[in-house]
A and B are shown apart, each in its own frame.
Chain A
Amino acid sequence: MKNNKNANSNSIKKATRRWGFLFLGPVLIAFTIGFIWPFIQGIWLSMCQFRLISDAKFTGFDNYIKVFQDASFRHAFWYTALFAVVSLAIINVLAFTVAYILTLDIKGSNLFRTVFFMPNLIGGIVLGYIWSMIFDGILGHYQTSILLESKYGFWGLIILMCWQQIGYMMIIYIAGLQNVPGDILEAARIDGATSLQTLFKVTIPNVMSSFTICIFLSLTNGFKLFDQNLALTGGQPFVIQQGGTTIKTTEMLALNIYNTFYSSNTTSQGVAQAKAVVFFVLVAGLGLLQLSFTRKKEVQQ
């Protein structure tokens, strides 16, 4: 009996080992075509000069040198970093607040959740154009425009992103808040904790995993932002320096890469590709750093 059982599981293991690749195959192929191959090709192209990707010429690290000499890329990086940090903070504070309020048994909270979530269903380009009209409708009264002052462009984009993202993050926080065990909350109440103490000492530590996800999402979203940036300001206003070079004051990293790719210099495609690789390393690095940092704050029940 015992032997038989062992033999049985052994043969299953064997079969799995032998035929497993059949089941892995489709995913592996799709993954290779859709991700691994383009990614390797992207890294290869970042070291080439090319117009059509089928006749790329290897140029080594020239593109990377140009990337780090490019003042517009550095400006875009700092601008993006500032944007990502500010939007991360505001979005998460507001999203958590809204989620907290909507889990307090308010009448019609389902309706509120739906309404707050809805902006997420609209595409970024559409949002950008709609909001540019809204902002200009207001700023027009003061004889100015979102395209005339970079601070308007910055805060405009923050408002747009909050409007779009808070609902999404709110849903994740609500899910987290509903998972906080009732007995812990009850214990806190019996021990005489004030509601503020409960919030900070009990609830928040227990929804830390939601914070991990939301902060990760809003950080990477902030860095990768493209559509909304393109549609809202497109990098305007520019600072036109002596000598005619310009700094696009509200241009973020992704838009900078896009603009580089489509400028008509023969080497610009390769440089844009190198920027994209640098961009990837930055975003991936920051994302992982943040993950490992907030993970430590999570509590085990």
Chain B
Amino acid sequence: MKKTKKFLALALGTALSLSMLAGCGGNTDAPSENTAEATDESKESAENSESAEAPATEDTEAPAASGSGSVYWLNFKPESDEVLQDIAAIYKEKTGVDVKVVTAASGTYSQTLLSEMDKSAPPTLFVIGNQAGVKDWTDYALDLTDTPIANELSTDAYNLYDENGKLVSIGYCYECYGIIVNPDLIVKAGHTMDEIKDFDSLKAVAEDIHSRAGELGFDAFSSSDMDASSSWRFTGHMANLEYYYEQEGSTWTECPATISGKYMDNFKNLYDLCINNSLTDPKELATGGHDAENEFKTGQAAFFVNGSWEYEAVKNDVPNATMIPYYCGVDGEEKAGLNCGTENCWAINCKASEEDQQATMDFMVWCVTDPDASRKLVDTFGVMPYKQAAESTNGFLAAADAYTADGCYVMNWATNFQPNVDSYRATLVSALNQYNADQSDANWETVRTAFVDGWAAEYNAVNN
């Protein structure tokens, strides 16, 4: 008995220390464990897909795919996965070229990219969405200057260049964010949308609704949870107003080493308005669990801080939903527009074979020129900035256009420059949690430190 026990003990101990060793040494494999959801079963059987043999369908617009290349698109937007799989199947049917679409699970794009690029058949089409991405991946990106796809663009506003002027990635859609409003509820509360012109008028409407919430049956703002599924609406998006105004009319082209925090009080104005005139007590925001989208859809709240991608989700329940800018008490903000920009930029992998690069280029051009394909893509992406692409049906992007047409300034996505972004935002969340629990000046000073000094600290951490 004793011997068996001893042996068992030894075996257990050994097994454990071994699994520990393996866990340690295998750390480099960690990214591949965050597996991409490979939803497409059709693997790259490139050799079999001779485009010449594929019977050309009546659609003459399908480009003749040259050679035996195939396309592997590492997709960044989980919500568009289904449509992209469709598009891939249609393209395969029309041209015989294999298109594999793999979607990184929400929030794991960079890990997935890291591991996929290291495989023997890496993505040929991937996303480089911001300057940090350009820095990391420029060596793997084809220069897109004067390529067929670049010539189809209707604007170069969403292109990303590296420091040598190489066109690393080009926007395939753009988005806007601001404050989503349910105009019907505003009217029900006895106000009009025209009243809301700046921060003071927004504050008056929001505070009035909040004070009469019991009688009206709805509140002003939906919950602003600070858990990972929601905090980016504030630490990423709303923070943009501070960065935008701090640029003082110009736009950053690279990440500044420090920021001044000159417009922190304006950020505080809007943030305070959001948390203090809401369905949820600010003290209950830390771990989340409230569904802001649902609160807005079901008419429990009139305002919802989010972006144009929400249009599909809310349009059936709130058909009149529109979007207003981040009014925050800056001079001249009556002329503010929405925050427009993108993190959705295509890059072609220059380390892929020539055939694959060509096949990828053909596929991209088809996506933005074929009427049916671009219709489908525009319906999921919102809008595509290409000359021949289908028209947008997104009400929030239409609002963005309307502001621009009225001569309002577009607030660019300066927030994309946030250094060491995950860590920077996590710090900000921690500080905002303390502030939400106790809105003292000292706690706001901590938020300011995280916001302003945190920027410099993260910049140094990344660049030194």
Per-residue 0/1 for A127-149: is the Cβ within 8 Å of any B Cβ (1 yes, 0 no)? 00000110010001001111110
Question: Which listed residue (B5, B17, B110, B431) contacts A238, Cβ 8 A?
Answer: B431
Beta-carbon contacts under 8 Å, A108-123 to B: none
- In which size bucket is the chain A interface? 35 or more
The answer to whether A167 has its CB under 8 Å from any CB of chain B is no
Q: Name the A residues within 8 Å of B228 (CB-CB).
A: 234
The answer to whether B387 has its CB under 8 Å from any CB of chain A is no
Would A133 and B287 be within 8 Å (CB), given that A240-B427, A240-B446, A246-B427 are in contact? yes
Beta-carbon contacts under 8 Å, A178-226 to B: 179, 209, 212-213, 216-217, 220, 224
- Cα A35 to Cα B284 with chains together (Å): 46
Assess the B20–A287 pair: CB atoms within 8 A: yes
Q: How many residues of B are in contact with the other chain, CB < 8 A?
A: 60
Beta-carbon contacts under 8 Å, A8-47 to B: 34-35, 38-43, 45
Scoring A148, A238, A279, A287 by chain B CB atoms within 10 A of each residue's CB, the highest score goes to: A238
Number of A-B contacts (CB under 8 A): 171
The answer to whether A177 has its CB under 8 Å from any CB of chain B is no
Assess the A38–B28 pair: CB atoms within 8 A: yes
What's the least CB distance linking A286 to chain B, in Å?
11
Scoring B422, B423, B433, B457 by chain A CB atoms within 10 A of each residue's CB, the highest score goes to: B423
What's the least CB distance linking B219 to chain A, in Å?
19
- Cα A275 to Cα B454 with chains together (Å): 24
Beta-carbon contacts under 8 Å, B5-42 to A: 5-6, 9, 12-13, 16-18, 20-30
Assess the A213–B450 pair: CB atoms within 8 A: no
Q: Name the A residues within 8 Å of B21 (CB-CB).
A: 35, 39, 280, 284
Assess the B6–A276 pair: CB atoms within 8 A: no
What's the least CB distance linking B113 to chain A, in Å?
10
Question: Which listed residue (B2, B16, B26, B454) contacts A42, Cβ 8 A?
Answer: B26
The answer to whether A53 has its CB under 8 Å from any CB of chain B is yes
The answer to whether B126 has its CB under 8 Å from any CB of chain A is no
- Cα A280 to Cα B13 with chains together (Å): 15
Scoring A257, A259, A261 by chain B CB atoms within 10 A of each residue's CB, the highest score goes to: A261
Chain B at the A interface: SS class = helix
Would A53 and B28 be within 8 Å (CB), given that A246-B427, A262-B422 are in contact? yes
Per-residue 0/1 for B428-464: is the Cβ within 8 Å of any A Cβ (1 yes, 0 no)? 0111011001000000001001101111111001110
Question: Which listed residue (B25, B118, B433) contacts A40, Cβ 8 A?
Answer: B25
The answer to whether A272 has its CB under 8 Å from any CB of chain B is yes
Assess the A246–B454 pair: CB atoms within 8 A: yes
Q: Name the A residues within 8 Å of B450 (CB-CB).
A: 238, 240, 244, 246
Q: Name the A residues within 8 Å of B24 (CB-CB).
A: 39, 42, 276-277, 279-280, 283
Would A52 and B118 be within 8 Å (CB), given that A38-B28, A272-B27 are in contact? yes
What's the least CB distance linking B151 to chain A, in Å?
32
Question: Which listed residue (B23, B26, B461) contacts A224, Cβ 8 A?
Answer: B23
Would A179 and B430 be within 8 Å (CB), given that A243-B453, A276-B24 are in contact? no
The answer to whether B54 has its CB under 8 Å from any CB of chain A is no
The answer to whether B114 has its CB under 8 Å from any CB of chain A is yes
Would A244 and B452 be within 8 Å (CB), given that A35-B21, A284-B21 are in contact? yes
The answer to whether A124 has its CB under 8 Å from any CB of chain B is no
What's the least CB distance linking A283 to chain B, in Å?
6
Q: Name the B residues within 8 Å of A245 (CB-CB).
A: 457
The answer to whether A242 has its CB under 8 Å from any CB of chain B is yes
Assess the A35–B25 pair: CB atoms within 8 A: yes
- Cα A147 to Cα B226 with chains together (Å): 10
- Cα A89 to Cα B453 with chains together (Å): 41
What's the least CB distance linking A279 to chain B, in Å?
7
Assess the B433–A38 pair: CB atoms within 8 A: no
- Cα A42 to Cα B287 with chains together (Å): 36
Would A209 and B29 be within 8 Å (CB), given that A143-B437, A284-B21, A287-B20 are in contact? no
- Cα A43 to Cα B450 with chains together (Å): 35
Q: Name the A residues within 8 Å of B462 (CB-CB).
A: 263-265
CB-CB nearest in chain B for A238: B430
Q: What 5 pairs between A and B have smallest CB-CB spacing? A: A244-B453, A39-B25, A244-B457, A280-B24, A42-B25
Please give the residue numbers on chain B whose beta carbons come within 8 Å of chain A beta carbons, in ascending order.
1-2, 5-6, 9, 12-13, 16-18, 20-30, 110-111, 114, 117-118, 132, 136, 228, 283-284, 286-287, 289, 419-423, 426-427, 429-431, 433-434, 437, 446, 449-450, 452-458, 461-463
Interface contacts beyond A132-B287, A145-B433, A273-B27: sample of 12 additional A-B pairs, CB < 8 Å, sorted by A: A35-B18, A42-B24, A53-B28, A145-B283, A179-B5, A209-B6, A209-B9, A212-B9, A244-B450, A263-B461, A263-B462, A284-B17
A sample of 30 inter-chain contacts (CB < 8 A) reads A38-B25, A38-B26, A39-B22, A40-B25, A43-B25, A52-B117, A132-B287, A133-B289, A140-B283, A140-B284, A145-B433, A146-B287, A209-B9, A224-B23, A234-B426, A236-B433, A240-B427, A243-B456, A244-B450, A244-B458, A246-B427, A257-B27, A262-B111, A264-B420, A264-B462, A265-B420, A273-B28, A276-B24, A283-B24, A291-B13
